[in-house]
Amino acid sequence: MTAAAPQTLQIADSGSRLDIALDRPDERNALTFEVWDDLDRVTAGVERRDDLRVVTLTGNGPAFCAGVDFAAIGAALEVERGSYPSFIRRWATIVDRFERVAQPSIAAINGPAVGAGLELALACDIRIASDRAVFAMPQMRMGIVPDVGGTSRLARATGEAFAKDMILTSRIVDAEEALRAGIVSRVVPHDRLAEELEAVAAAVERLPWPSAYFATLAVDCGPRLDPRRAADIEAMADQVMLRQEEVWQGISDFMAAKGLRGLNR
């Protein structure tokens, strides 16, 4: 039986690329149990796909994601508040998949990325922002800690001092400050965001497989290892890649173009 189409996500699947858009624009793409369930099914499917080369994530409407829809979550929980830790762990597992899947993931942050929405974006390998995007971790204003990996991922992206500042003060960070801090790697005018996402996704999609997976794995693991072990990961990756004829053809084409000078033409 074919799985039901997600009701809270817009999905486009080309076979080698999967585009995911959070699709509750009237609610600023806030996360309900239904959204988490849809994300769970879609990301679990990505893990089983050998044909996919890249996954993208964005939001429909003016916001990327306004975080958890606490009104909807509270109504669904009713008085069973004791279940709270268990579903947080499930949500964290769903967010982790964006970081762990073999395919590189690209977040196109089209507007506010708040709370769990920012935590979801931080799990993606590449983060591009519209100049209209803003970022915040306001959970501490409610007396709760960012709880789906946000503290550790924000600290890895920005450093501990900036992460503590942002989390403890709940302040709003604009796109340019987010770029300087390392929350995102690019900021583009809002009307160019889709074009920029297309260009980045197409570049990743063209890479010989699984070189993109090996590269993101090396970047994720390398800083936590001593330099020798980090270099070992790189060497093992290239031992696999250099067995592929496609790679040798790429090396030949690169050399024929005189290396980096050829890239500037």
227 near 235, Cβ under 8 Å? no
| Count of structural domains, the chain | 2
CB of 205 closer than 8 Å to CB of 53: yes
| Mean model confidence pLDDT for the chain | 92
Distance (Å, rounded) from C-alpha 112 to C-alpha 114?
6
Domain limit, last residue, from 164, 182, 205: 205
Same domain, 250 and 122: no
Same domain for 87 and 113?
Answer: yes
Helix (H, G, I), strand (E, B) or coil at 225: coil
Pull the structure tokens for residue 67.
């975080």
Tell me if 111 sits within 8 A of 131, measured CB to CB. no
Return the pLDDT at 114: 98
Establish if 139 belongs to a structural domain: yes
CATH of the domain at 161: 3.90.226.10
**Residue 4 resides in a domain:** no
Q: What is the pLDDT of residues 11-58, one digit of tens each?
A: 999 999 999 999 999 999 999 999 999 999 999 999 899 999 999 999
pLDDT digits (tens, 9 = 90+) for 66-79: 999 988 777 666 54
Say how many C-beta atoms besides its own lie within 10 A of residue 175's C-beta: 21
| Closest-CA residue to 119 (of 142, 143, 138, 141) | 138
- pLDDT of amino acid 1: 39
Q: How confident is the model at residue 154 (pLDDT cuts 50, 70, 90)?
A: very high
Residues 141 and 255 placed together within one structural domain of the fold? no
In a domain, 87, yes or no: yes
Domain range enclosing 126: 9-205
C-alpha neighbours within 13 Å on the C-beta side of residue 116: 23
Is residue 137 located within the same domain as residue 224?
A: no
In a domain, 2, yes or no: no
Does 265 score more than 50 pLDDT? no
Q: Examine residue 60 and state whether it is found in any structural domain, yes or no.
A: yes
